Amino acid sequence: MTKAEIVAEIASKTGIEKGAVQTVVENFMEVVKASMAKGNNVYLRGFGSFIIKTRAEKTGRDMSKKVSITIPAHKIPAFKPAKVFMNVVK
Protein backbone atom coordinates (compact mmCIF):
# COMPACT_ATOMS: atom_id res chain seq x y z
CA MET A 1 0.00 0.00 0.00
CA THR A 2 1.38 3.40 -0.96
CA LYS A 3 1.04 6.72 0.85
CA ALA A 4 -1.51 7.86 -1.77
CA GLU A 5 -3.59 4.71 -1.16
CA ILE A 6 -3.45 5.30 2.60
CA VAL A 7 -4.61 8.89 2.12
CA ALA A 8 -7.46 7.78 -0.17
CA GLU A 9 -8.56 5.08 2.29
CA ILE A 10 -8.60 7.45 5.28
CA ALA A 11 -10.40 10.13 3.26
CA SER A 12 -13.11 7.68 2.18
CA LYS A 13 -13.61 6.34 5.73
CA THR A 14 -13.70 9.73 7.46
CA GLY A 15 -15.23 11.97 4.80
CA ILE A 16 -12.34 14.44 5.13
CA GLU A 17 -10.82 15.91 1.95
CA LYS A 18 -7.81 14.08 0.52
CA GLY A 19 -5.70 17.24 0.69
CA ALA A 20 -6.27 17.62 4.42
CA VAL A 21 -5.62 13.93 5.07
CA GLN A 22 -2.42 14.08 3.03
CA THR A 23 -1.21 17.06 5.08
CA VAL A 24 -1.88 15.19 8.32
CA VAL A 25 -0.14 12.02 7.11
CA GLU A 26 2.92 13.93 5.89
CA ASN A 27 3.12 15.94 9.12
CA PHE A 28 2.86 12.72 11.14
CA MET A 29 5.81 11.26 9.24
CA GLU A 30 7.84 14.46 9.71
CA VAL A 31 7.19 14.45 13.47
CA VAL A 32 8.26 10.80 13.73
CA LYS A 33 11.44 11.46 11.71
CA ALA A 34 12.31 14.58 13.71
CA SER A 35 11.76 12.80 17.01
CA MET A 36 13.92 9.86 15.99
CA ALA A 37 16.63 12.18 14.64
CA LYS A 38 16.82 13.67 18.15
CA GLY A 39 17.31 10.14 19.56
CA ASN A 40 13.77 9.60 20.87
CA ASN A 41 11.63 6.53 20.27
CA VAL A 42 7.98 6.93 19.20
CA TYR A 43 5.37 4.71 20.86
CA LEU A 44 1.89 4.21 19.40
CA ARG A 45 -0.19 2.08 21.78
CA GLY A 46 -1.91 -0.79 19.98
CA PHE A 47 0.11 -0.24 16.80
CA GLY A 48 3.82 -0.42 17.55
CA SER A 49 7.00 1.48 18.29
CA PHE A 50 9.43 3.28 16.04
CA ILE A 51 12.73 2.62 17.78
CA ILE A 52 16.40 3.38 17.24
CA LYS A 53 18.69 0.35 17.15
CA THR A 54 22.45 0.52 17.48
CA ARG A 55 24.51 -1.68 15.19
CA ALA A 56 27.90 -2.71 16.56
CA GLU A 57 31.17 -2.08 14.74
CA LYS A 58 32.07 -4.93 12.40
CA THR A 59 34.57 -5.97 9.78
CA GLY A 60 33.49 -6.11 6.15
CA ARG A 61 35.14 -6.77 2.81
CA ASP A 62 35.58 -4.46 -0.16
CA MET A 63 35.37 -7.12 -2.86
CA SER A 64 36.60 -4.87 -5.68
CA LYS A 65 39.83 -3.99 -3.82
CA LYS A 66 40.03 -7.28 -1.86
CA VAL A 67 40.62 -5.37 1.37
CA SER A 68 39.07 -5.70 4.83
CA ILE A 69 37.32 -2.56 6.04
CA THR A 70 35.89 -1.58 9.38
CA ILE A 71 32.24 -0.59 9.39
CA PRO A 72 31.76 1.76 12.35
CA ALA A 73 28.97 1.42 14.90
CA HIS A 74 25.86 3.24 13.75
CA LYS A 75 22.19 3.72 14.55
CA ILE A 76 19.29 2.62 12.37
CA PRO A 77 15.53 3.20 12.63
CA ALA A 78 13.35 0.14 13.19
CA PHE A 79 9.70 -0.70 13.77
CA LYS A 80 8.53 -3.09 16.46
CA PRO A 81 4.84 -4.01 16.08
CA ALA A 82 2.59 -4.24 19.13
CA LYS A 83 1.19 -7.64 20.17
CA VAL A 84 -2.30 -6.58 19.04
CA PHE A 85 -0.89 -5.66 15.61
CA MET A 86 0.99 -8.97 15.33
CA ASN A 87 -2.10 -10.99 16.28
CA VAL A 88 -4.13 -9.30 13.53
CA VAL A 89 -1.46 -10.03 10.91
CA LYS A 90 -1.08 -13.68 11.96
**Neighbour-count burial for 42-71, b at 16+ CB within 10 Å, e otherwise:** beeeeebebebeeeeeeeeeeeeeeeeeee
What's the rounded Cα separation, in Å, for the pair 86 and 90?
6
Query: What per-residue confidence (pLDDT) applies to 66?
Result: 86
What's the rounded Cα separation, in Å, for the pair 75 and 28?
22
What's the pTM value of the predicted model, to 2 decimals?
A: 0.79
- Domain boundaries along the sequence of the chain: 1-40, 41-90
Q: How far is CA 83 from the centre of its chain?
A: 17
- The CATH class of the 41-90 domain is few secondary structures
pLDDT < 70 positions in the chain = none
Query: What per-residue confidence (pLDDT) applies to 27?
Result: 97
Query: What per-residue confidence (pLDDT) applies to 46?
Result: 93
Report the candidate in 60, 82, 89 with the shortest Cα–Cα distance to residue 72. Answer: 60
